[in-house]
Amino acid sequence: MKKSTFSPAQIAGILKEFDNGKSAEEINREHGVSKASLYKWRQRYGGMEATELKRMKDLEEENARLKRMYANLAMELDVAKYIIEKKL
């Protein structure tokens, strides 16, 4: 997954600007954010404060790490089962 160039505090600030009535075009020019990213952030993080946003991003990273760990362990188990079956 691509790492965001914006910190959670920056994302929260940009979303607050958008909620306060600033147009998407103005935000695009000032911050270099595409409309798609802006609306995706709004859908995903709308109404969150910077601390909540940071915590959510940390949890998403931890979840991805745990999923990779599980996949590696499952693959090792499959290999071990295959080796045991072959020896018998």
Residue-wise pLDDT tens digits, 22-33? 888 998 899 998
**42 contacts: CB under 8 Å, gap ≥ 6:** 15, 18
pTM of the model: 0.60
Q: Are 68 and 76 in contact (CB under 8 A)?
A: no
Instruction: For residue 88, name the pLDDT band (cuts at 50, 70, 90).
Output: confident
Residue 1 predicted with pLDDT over 60: no
